[in-house]
Amino acid sequence: MGAKRKFAVIDPETIPEVAEWLHMVEDGKIVACVWQHLLCKMVRRVFETEKLWLDRERLDRYLSYQKLFPFNLNAEEKFMLTLMLCLYAEPGVPRFDVLFLYVGRGFGKNGFITFLSFCLMSKANGILEYDIHVAATTEEQAKTSFMELYNLFERSPSKFENGFTWNKKEIKNKSTSSILKYLTANAASKDGGRPGALILDEIHAYESYELIAVLIGGLGKKDDARVLEITTDGDVREGPLDEEKEKGKKILRGEMPDGGMLPVMFALDDPSEIHNELMWPKANPAVLERPNLMQRYRKDYRAWIEHPQKHTEVPTKRFNCPTARQDIALTTRENLIAASRPIDLERLRGQPCVFGLDYARTTDMVGACLLFDVDGEWVALHHGWWCTHSADAGEVKAPLQDWERDGWLTIVDDVDISAELPCIWARDMASKLGATIVIGALDEYRLGLVKPKLMEVLGLDSSVKDGKDSKKQVYIVRPSDHMRVYPVLDSVLANHGIAWGDSPLMRWCANNVKVEPAPNNNFKYGKIAPHSRKTDVFMALVAAFSAREYLPESVQLVFAAPVFY
């Protein structure tokens, strides 16, 4: 664009496309969640404290393209388009180059992606060969926005054939040579390229940053590079979505610089608001504009009320209130986060503890835990080992390298995981704290492999005794122990009576644990995903709880009655 750039402090009230949404939220013209109120404060703070330049000519041309589409942009969409595509900071770079749009299903995000893509390909953007890549974990999802634009062109070819060429693989603007295309899940085939913008559709489905890192690595070769992350909530926990949500919240609360990220987050402030349809615009403002969408929400709500176990996608995707199936979930997300509070290691010095070990598959993952009972609070130090030769290596998408970097995991590049490794970890951790391991607890399945190391490294008697005598140093965990531990651990989690530190590895394992019915109205632990996710570190905690009674002078907690689903 040829407009002269003059950077100065701008009053957002002079930009109707920004001011409209600010006033809708601030003046209560629309019911809005706390994150929208914080977003308005953040945007006003940016305008008040920074020298900026708005490309008014570019914005007007973008908005003029609405006549080519079967819809007009809503206030919140014009707000995002203005800040993302037309606002610049010195020395002439986009003020916001990352959009994180987190909104309930039915918002029309694919139509919004389509419109933004059209704008960025156009002459109004002013950058030649500014390619746009749309990525998702499935080809079907990646194609959705692309096909919306393709079908628009197909329905009215006379409107677009002078400016574009298109087929079912790519759409090209003739004057700018900018290309829109979709990508799929194979990260290895996406390295390289020179995109100007990357659109990540439904990042809730990504289990790790592997594909995202490869795709983002191609940016920077074109001016004004941008990333647009657009998603509802989903079922994958401890993945990119949870990290982006937490980052967005910290930015909005003023706990960290935005770094160019514009976090536009729509969600109910409390799950109880699901039952009040007046609150639904907090998660999806589009319900106020589209009666058919509101009707769909009402139908889905009724289906969820009647059969909540069958329709967990309703609170998760419609209202951005992630909810696991309560008939199989280990516990709630809130309880897992409460257990992730920091650990004061000084409280553990000189204390007795139980060593729990899950060593079922030495060629896969191994988990270990030291369990302490300190003043009525359970504390779990833990670690995991991952074998690179695991048969499931191709299916596990978790950020294992990141967890190793942060000290939660050790990656073992060998044919299996030696029993010596968890024993050495337990010995060194206990020695560091001056703690005493009074008993080890593990499944009998691999006991033969572990017994020599328990004696050699930890000094635990290799003879396994029955009964509850004080000399017992190794406890065999049987299936009945899982049933015995379940109501105890369930109550501990529900009452926030355990701390295991801010461990994404433990939460990842716990999120894959399901509770299954067992004989005589009991429950046992199982796996939700048998191959792509693991449970070993959590099951090491279960093993440790199986032998908790052997902690000398432990403070016994009073547990609530078990909850049956």
Q: Is residue 364 part of a domain?
A: yes
* Residue 560: pLDDT band with limits 50, 70, 90: very low
Q: Domain range holding 283?
A: 272-318
Confidence (pLDDT) at 563 = 35
Q: Is residue 302 part of a domain?
A: yes
**419 in the same domain as 542:** yes
The pLDDT tens digits of the residues spanning 65-100 come to 999 999 999 999 999 999 999 999 998 999 999 999
Mean pLDDT of 262-275: 96
CB distance 75 to 20 below 8 Å: yes
Residues with Cβ within 8 Å of residue 43, at least 6 apart in sequence: 12, 18, 22, 83
Confidence (pLDDT) at 254 = 96
Tell whether the model's pLDDT for residue 467 goes beyond 70: no
Confidence (pLDDT) at 377 = 95
Q: Is residue 51 part of a domain?
A: no
DSSP character at residue 314: I
Mean pLDDT of 12-23: 98
Which CATH number fits the domain that encloses residue 67?
A: 3.40.50.300
Confidence (pLDDT) at 554 = 45
Q: Is residue 137 part of a domain?
A: yes
**413 in the same domain as 393:** yes
Confidence (pLDDT) at 531 = 81
* Residue 397: pLDDT band with limits 50, 70, 90: confident
The pLDDT tens digits of the residues spanning 347-378 come to 999 999 999 999 877 788 999 999 999 998 99
Task: Give the Å distances, CA to CA, from 546 to 370, 371, 551.
Answer: 12, 11, 11
**71 in the same domain as 219:** yes
Higher per-residue pLDDT: 33 or 209: 33
**512 in the same domain as 466:** yes
Residues with Cβ within 8 Å of residue 540, at least 6 apart in sequence: 356, 357, 358, 367, 368, 369, 382
Confidence (pLDDT) at 3 = 59
The pLDDT tens digits of the residues spanning 417-459 come to 999 999 999 999 999 999 999 999 998 777 778 888 888 999 8
**488 in the same domain as 417:** yes
Which residue, 295, 218, 216, 302, is CA-closest to 261? 216
**242 in the same domain as 102:** yes
* Domain termination residue (choose one: 286, 318, 350): 318
Mean pLDDT of 174-194: 74
Kindly report the backbone phi and psi dihedral angles of residue 96, in degrees, each rounded to the nearest multiple of 5, phi listed first: -120, 115
Q: Is residue 90 part of a domain?
A: no
Q: How far is it, in rounded angstroms, from Cα 214 to Cα 195?
A: 12
**448 in the same domain as 389:** yes
Q: Which of 112-116, 303-307, 359-363 has the lowest mean pLDDT?
A: 359-363
**166 in the same domain as 100:** yes
Mean pLDDT of 461-487: 74
Tell whether the model's pLDDT for residue 41 goes beyond 90: yes
Residues with Cβ within 8 Å of residue 15, at least 6 apart in sequence: 54, 82
Which CATH number fits the domain that encloses residue 472?
A: 3.30.420.240
Helix axes 34-49, 16-26, angle to 10 degrees: 140
* Residue 185: pLDDT band with limits 50, 70, 90: low
**306 in the same domain as 289:** yes
Q: How far is it, in rounded angstroms, from Cα 223 to Cα 130?
A: 8
Q: Is residue 31 part of a domain?
A: no
The percentage of residues in the chain with a pLDDT greater than 90, rounded to a whole number, is 69
* Residue 517: pLDDT band with limits 50, 70, 90: confident
Kindly report the backbone phi and psi dihedral angles of residue 87, in degrees, each rounded to the nearest multiple of 5, phi listed first: -105, 130
Higher per-residue pLDDT: 323 or 281: 281
Q: Please give the mean pLDDT across all residues of the chain.
A: 89
Q: Is residue 18 part of a domain?
A: no
**369 in the same domain as 229:** no
Q: How far is it, in rounded angstroms, from Cα 284 to Cα 108?
A: 10
Tell whether the model's pLDDT for residue 1 goes beyond 60: no
Residues with Cβ within 8 Å of residue 204, at least 6 apart in sequence: 231, 232, 233, 234, 235, 236, 239, 241
Kindly report the backbone phi and psi dihedral angles of residue 526, in degrees, each rounded to the nearest multiple of 5, phi listed first: -140, -175
Mean pLDDT of 308-326: 81
* Residue 553: pLDDT band with limits 50, 70, 90: low
Confidence (pLDDT) at 505 = 96
Q: How far is it, in rounded angstroms, from Cα 469 to Cα 45?
A: 66
Beta strands per DSSP E along 128-280 = 131-135, 164-166, 170-173, 179-183, 195-201, 226-231, 261-265
Confidence (pLDDT) at 54 = 97
**293 in the same domain as 206:** no
Number of domains in the chain: 3
Confidence (pLDDT) at 449 = 82
**440 in the same domain as 310:** no
